[in-house]
Amino acid sequence: MVQQGDRGERRISAVFLGIAAVMGVTGWAVWTGYAASTGLAVFLFVTSAWIVSLCLHEYAHARTALHSGDLSVGAKGYLTLNPLKYTHAMLSIVLPVIFVILGGLGLPGGAVYIERGRIQGRWKHSLISAAGPLTNVAFAVVCTAPFWLDALDGVPLAFRFALGFLALLQVSAAILNFLPVPGLDGYGVIEPWLSYKVRREVAPLAQFGLIAVFALLWIPEVNGFFFDFVNAVLGKLGVSDLETYCGRELYMFWQDGSSVCDVSG
253 Cβ neighbours under 8 A, 6+ residues apart = 37, 38, 39, 40, 42, 43
DSSP 183-232: TSHHHHHHGGGS-HHHHHHHGGGHHHHHHHHHHHTTSHHHHHHHHHHHHH
- Nearest of 44, 132, 141, 139 to residue 92 by alpha carbon: 132
3-state secondary structure 2-18: CCHHHHHHHCCCHHHHH
The catalytically annotated residue of 9, 58, 191, 243 is: 58
Rounded to whole angstroms, the Cα distance separating 182 from 2 reads 37
Rounded to whole angstroms, the Cα distance separating 42 from 182 reads 34
CB 176 within 8 A of CB 140: no
Distances (CA, A) of 160 to 5, 15, 132, 137, 153: 43, 27, 26, 19, 10
The yes-or-no answer on residue 115 being catalytic is: no
Q: What is the dihedral sign for C-alpha 182, 64, 169, 230?
A: positive
- Nearest of 133, 15, 183 to residue 83 by alpha carbon: 15
Residues with catalytic roles: 58
